Homo-oligomer: A and B are copies of this chain.
């Protein structure tokens, strides 16, 4: 990747070498480490860094599986595979087991370090494990100092949770996790609680020792209620902290739509400001109806939740439907009053005209230059056929390097430029607790979706988004709920498209 292309990501390149970051997670079980790790690596990959997660628990399970299938299972009431998932395996007073667990952690760290040293671009390796004792962290740090020659690249991220409701909810989620799948829920929960008790015995939160050793850290308490940072200085760790500061689990909807058909669209011309056609105006009217309907559905759901919760806000094992909701207390914080609904358009007529029908009293409308179409530079106003004919070199270069090829001419952009431009929009979407409808352009929709759907670099360039489709993203405790809707001009409606993601990549 040439430096001229990444140039709009300020200081992707720091000093001579591409900077690396080695994130070590810290925290008791069920504190949301893996959730954070997934989200963070998704964001960093979207920013076009290489981020990879190395999970110690997965290695523990994989090794146990190998031993088991190699028929080395111990003489015990549990097979070796089961044993490594049971609470007893985490007994901190059993020196053999502590050492076995250290070995697994070091092997995983080695895998990470090998990967990190192979990367020639900026990259981030994330060690996902509890690392909740001083001893374990010291072992890891000496290993890193030996292998990398420095601790400058290390960033600890600790998640703590003092909110009993969140914790109880996380415990429940664990029962569906790989260690307990298929087991009796009551017994599994008992076993998992025992595992947590073992961890708590030897748990030391980040603090004085790391401060003496001058190791940067980030502490996230109760899903971002409090955030503590120590010695955050590097470019990559600043990006990480900035992202983690904009973090909430409130249930809400993020709608992403293109503007309706413009005059330029109908002629296949790209990149210019252009008014809606009659088709585009019909689409706009349908969108207003559709979003109004969806907003009403949400409001009804909210009101019925409130009524239910007046009777019982506590977790109840007997009622699975209520359980689902009671499980996640953070979500309920957003159910107490109607949510605001923001509409963000670009500054171009094809999107502002599409949003014209939304009433300013009900929706908070905002134009953002940040959401403008990918700037096609000198090619703006041409069709792809015209570009292919009149500028075959440009056409070919663009086709071959869609992600990195900047359209020639004043202001011309490539997809990576667009990512950099949209970073504040993503941070703002992560921060907000109300509904947002973005009405923007297909290139922008593509880049936003690639963030939410965790697409790889090549997928971003190759993805084909059907015309007049819109998308809804709902943050959930386990990730993101994604739905796609296609516009039906004959009825003026938007219809749910199940399995939409498969249609983005026609072979």
Binding site for B on A (CB under 8 A): 3-4, 7-8, 10-11, 13-16, 211, 225-233, 235, 238, 241-242, 245-246, 248, 271-273, 340, 342, 344, 347, 364, 366-370, 372, 375, 380, 410-411, 413, 417, 420, 424-425, 428, 431, 433
Asked whether A16 and B238 contact (CB < 8 A) given A232-B227, A410-B273, the answer is no
Query: Chain B contacts of A380 at CB under 8 A?
Result: 410
| Bound: A91/B235 CA distance, A | 45
- Give the docked Cα–Cα distance between A7 and B346 (Å): 9
Contact of A238 (CB < 8 Å), options: B225, B246, B271: B246
Taking CB atoms, residues of chain B closer than 8 Å to A228 are: 226-229
Q: Are A367 and B233 within 8 A (Cβ)? A: no
- Contact B410 A10, beta carbon cutoff 8 Å: no
What is the chain B residue whose CB lies nearest that of A372? B411
A373 to chain B, nearest CB (A): 9
List of 4 A-B pairs having minimum Cβ-Cβ separation, nearest first? A7-B367, A8-B369, A411-B411, A228-B228
CB distance from A158 to the nearest CB of B (A): 13
4 more CB-based (< 8 A) A-B contacts, given A10-B366, A10-B424, A369-B417: A7-B366, A11-B366, A226-B228, A375-B411
Query: B4 contacts A347, CB within 8 Å?
Result: yes
Given contacts A226-B229, A228-B227, A238-B431, contact A368 B10 (CB under 8 A): yes
Q: Considering the chains assembled together, what is the distance between the CA atoms of A70 and B225 in angstroms?
A: 51
A230-B238 contact, Cβ under 8 Å, with A10-B425, A428-B11: no
Query: Which residue of B has the minimal Cβ distance to A248?
Result: B233
Can you sample 25 A-B contacts with CB below 8 Å? A3-B366, A8-B368, A8-B369, A8-B370, A10-B344, A10-B425, A11-B342, A13-B366, A14-B364, A15-B340, A225-B231, A226-B228, A226-B230, A227-B228, A228-B229, A232-B245, A233-B248, A233-B431, A235-B431, A242-B242, A245-B245, A369-B413, A369-B420, A370-B420, A375-B411
Contacts of A235 in B (CB 8 A): 428, 431
A8 surroundings in chain B (CB, below 8 A): 347, 368-370
- Residues A15 and B364 in contact, CB atoms below 8 Å apart: yes
Contact B238 A4 (CB under 8 A): no
In the bound complex, do residue B370 and residue A272 qualify as a contact, i.e. CB atoms below 8 Å apart?
Answer: no
**Known: A8-B370, A375-B410. Is A245-B229 also a contact (CB below 8 A)?**
yes
| A16, B364: Cβ atoms closer than 8 Å | yes
Q: Which residues of B contact A229 (CB under 8 A)?
A: 226-228, 245
Cβ contacts under 8 Å, A420 to chain B: 369-370
Does A241 lie within 8 Å of B245, measured CB to CB? yes
Q: In the assembled complex, which residues on chain B have CB atoms less than 8 Å from the CB atom of A370?
A: 8, 10, 420
On chain B, the residues within 8 Å of A3 by CB distance are: 366-367
The answer, among B238, B366, B410, for a CB contact under 8 Å with A411, is B410
Knowing A364-B16, A375-B410, A411-B410, the reply to whether A428 touches B230 (Cβ < 8 A) is: no
- The smallest C-beta distance from A242 to any residue of chain B, in angstroms, reads 6
Q: Which residues of B contact A411 (CB under 8 A)?
A: 372, 375, 410-411
Most buried by B among A16, A273, A410: A410
The answer on a CB contact under 8 Å between A271 and B431 is: no
Contact of A428 among B10, B211, B424 (CB under 8 A): B10
Highest count of chain B CB atoms <10 Å: which of A11, A233, A238, A370: A11
- Tell whether, in the assembled complex, residue A364 and residue B232 are in contact, meaning their CB atoms are under 8 Å apart: no
Give the chain B neighbours of A7 by CB distance below 8 A. Answer: 347, 366-369
Q: How far, in whole Å, are A152 and B262 apart by their CA atoms in the complex?
A: 43
Taking CB atoms, residues of chain B closer than 8 Å to A340 are 15
Contact residues in B for A344 (Cβ distance below 8 Å): 10
Once the chains are docked, how many angstroms separate the CA of A340 from the CA of B242? 24
Measured in the bound complex, the distance between the Cα atoms of B9 and A370 in whole Å is: 9
